[in-house]
Amino acid sequence: MTKKKSSPVSLLDAALIKTALWGALAKLSPFVQWRNPVMFIVYIGSIFTTLLWLHALNAPEDASMRPAFVLAITVWLWFTVLFANFAEALAEGRSKAQAASLRGLRKETWAKKLKEPVHGAAFLPELATNLRRGDVVLVEAGDVIPLDGEVIEGVASVDESAITGESAPVVRESGGDFSAVTGGTRVLSDWLVVRVAVNPGESFLDRMIGMVEAAKRQKTPNEIALTILLVALTIVFLVVTVTLLPFSIFSVQASGAGTVVSLTALVDLLVCLIPTTIGGLLSAVGVAGMSRMMQANVIATSGRAVEAAGDVDVLLLDKTGTITHGNRQASAFLPAPGVSRARLARAALLASLADETPEGRSIVELARREGVQGQNPQGVKLVPFTAQTRMSGVDLPAGEGQPESAGTMLRKGAVLALAKHVEVLGGKMPQDVMSAADQVALRGSTPLAVADGNHVLGIVELKDIVKAGIKERFIELRRMGIKTVMITGDNKLTAAAIAAEAGVDDFLAEATPEDKLELIRKYQAEGRLVAMTGDGTNDAPALAQADVAVAMGSGTQAAKEAGNMVDLDSNPTKLLEVVETGKALLMTRGSLTTFSIANDVAKYFAIVPAIFVSTYPQLSALNVMQLASPSSAILSAVIFNALVIVFLIPLALRGVRYRPVGAAALLRRNLAIYGLGGLLVPFVGIKLIDWILVAVGLI
């Protein structure tokens, strides 16, 4: 099976860069700049130095610096604002490109609206835009599914490549966890009767477009907290800078030497000392986080969900389909003493007729392979499988001449659930059958018991296989400080065997929807952030309760609405990637913040000696970079301050690579690379710019 995902839009894409450049200019509006307090200060400073330049042109004798120098400072301050705008516009442009590709999937579609919700009923052609929730449509081979819905009849292969990027078709059928279909996908074979689950404009595709639109992005709590910190630092440096002017006037008067620091130099100092680097890239990092989720084929309803994924410390994972391959197949019939294999097989087949799960179908197939002919007898009452009862079955009518009470109740389900059912009817689970179930569970398989009334007939063995490499993933998560909990409806012995093989930290066996909900609340009461996946309607309450809830794209509409993320690939193990992406987002933001703050140290050594050396010659000792002149030092610092934003745009958009190590190791690595790097790079960069300015004669 090949995966043909659309590659992410390149940063060097000409159309994207052109759009971002125009976007950078459009964002010069004060109403836009106001949303970023740090860059708003730079914006005001740019306007102020522009006015100072105009003043210097008209009254050069009043200016302590040449008009050309003031102009150079002004130009680079405007570049700083534009580069920050460009970074945000570039991130938004990538998201909008993704949204545009999704919009291309929306076409005017005609649907076959059925008069009755059954195959073969008469239908009328109807535009998809005129359909409403609850309408039933027929979709045949070659037709496009008009809107999101649930398959209520039929089975067909569906091409979902336009949505998921997966080239191989998928099977959608009534019942089970693969009954959901997405509007805009195409049926390749057979037919489906679909009940529309949404109104026009509310489809999954519409939601996807809205989710990836950067314009609709809201700041996350961590982003808001960081913004407050940056604003606080900006206010501190603003106060410091303002006090330097009267200090300079007093110093010149007291010493009788030197010149008063210029307003241009003070603005330059302020811009260089406030955290402009992270301030200019903060929004781009948030937008890029959403975009990276999209590239992983995960749609996040908000940045809050992406961010929360980075703080998750408990993962709840379904066994079937996540830890194991999920294709549990009936492999053997183990009859109770005194019961023939054929009788057990026939009872299991009939009890599985109402079970639309893959496991139920595999039991039917195994029984038929063993020669059992099972057709729906007349007058039967099917009892479908539910997560609450954990059983399915059929009620057979009484034979001719027998009282109605003589009817047969065939049931198949989890061993403990069936044991309770038998006890209610006055029977008892045989010890030999319990022992056989335990042996099956110890092998890592799943035992299902079959009963005829209050008489237990035997065990059906379902085999499941742990996915390759999953144990190593759990070891990585453990190093990340994340606890993994396996959730399964299997009995405790089976769950323990699979949990030991997979290497999870804990497990919840014989889980009901209520058990899942209770477990999530328990961990949250301990102050933990919980993430889980789900695809069924019975998962919806737990998904709604979890801090990070990833619903499968193939799952039910209820699950999608309850989750705050949707995995288009319907791969439950994607939760691991979601957590890593969330952590990478937090690491990117933290690394850039560290780098930005560390930058200020070098700029201090460049600018402070330059503006005060005429009054206090002793400050020349702080000129460790040996910059050519005060003017060169000030201009080199502001140029570096602008250019560093450009060089960090790829890092902001692609993110810092996450490594599954402990928090202490991550902190040491962050300080070593971005802390120490933030200290050293400006020294090198400012000195290099100084050499260039001197070489070309601009200073």
Q: pLDDT (tens digit, 9 = 90+) per residue, 657-673?
A: 877 666 677 778 888 88
**pLDDT given at position 63:** 45
d(CA 601, CA 603): 5
**pLDDT given at position 403:** 44
Specify the DSSP class assigned to residue 324.
Answer: B
Q: What's the mean pLDDT in 248-270?
A: 84
CB 580 within 8 A of CB 304: no
Which amino acid, 102? Answer: L
Q: Is 383 helix (H, G, I), strand (E, B) or coil?
A: strand
d(CA 152, CA 3): 29
Residue 204 tokens read as 């999954």
In terms of DSSP bridges, do strands 149-159 and 530-534 run parallel, antiparallel, or are they unpaired?
unpaired
Residue 177's pLDDT band (boundaries 50, 70, 90)?
Answer: low
Q: Is 335 helix (H, G, I), strand (E, B) or coil?
A: strand
Q: What is the DSSP string of 352-379?
A: TTT--SHHHHHHHHHHHHTT------TT
> What HEC string does 84-107 produce?
HHHHHHHHHHHHHHHHHHHHCCCC
Which amino acid, 277? Answer: T
Q: What's the mean pLDDT in 480-493?
A: 83
- 76 membership: H or E segment, kind and range: helix 67-103
**How remote is the C-alpha of 598 from its chain's centroid?**
31
Neighbours of 46 (CB within 10 A): 22
Q: What's the mean pLDDT in 39-57?
A: 91
**pLDDT given at position 12:** 57
Neighbours of 521 (CB within 10 A): 13
Residue 68 has pLDDT above 60, yes or no: yes
**pLDDT given at position 6:** 43
Residue 118 has pLDDT above 70, yes or no: yes
Residue 110 tokens read as 């005609």
Of the residues 318, 355, 535, 600, only one is catalytic, namely 318
Q: What's the mean pLDDT in 38-62?
A: 85
Residue 369 tokens read as 């392979």
Burial of residue 126 (number of CB atoms within 10 Å: 0-12, 13-18, 19+)? middle
Residue 51's pLDDT band (boundaries 50, 70, 90)?
Answer: very high
Q: What's the mean pLDDT in 6-14?
A: 54
Residue 558 tokens read as 């209820």
Is residue 432 flagged as an active site residue? Answer: no
For 320-330, write each residue's pLDDT tens digit: 767 876 667 78
Residue 390 tokens read as 């954990």
- 263 membership: H or E segment, kind and range: helix 263-273
**pLDDT given at position 78:** 95
Residue 385's pLDDT band (boundaries 50, 70, 90)?
Answer: confident
Ramachandran region, residue 190 (left: φ > 0; alpha: ψ -120 to 50; beta: rest): left
Q: What's the mean pLDDT in 393-406?
A: 61
**pLDDT given at position 697:** 77
159 Cβ contact list (under 8 Å, min separation 6): 169, 185, 186, 187, 188
Give the residue, 152 or 65, on which the prediction is more confident. 152
**How remote is the C-alpha of 336 from its chain's centroid?**
49
d(CA 507, CA 488): 8
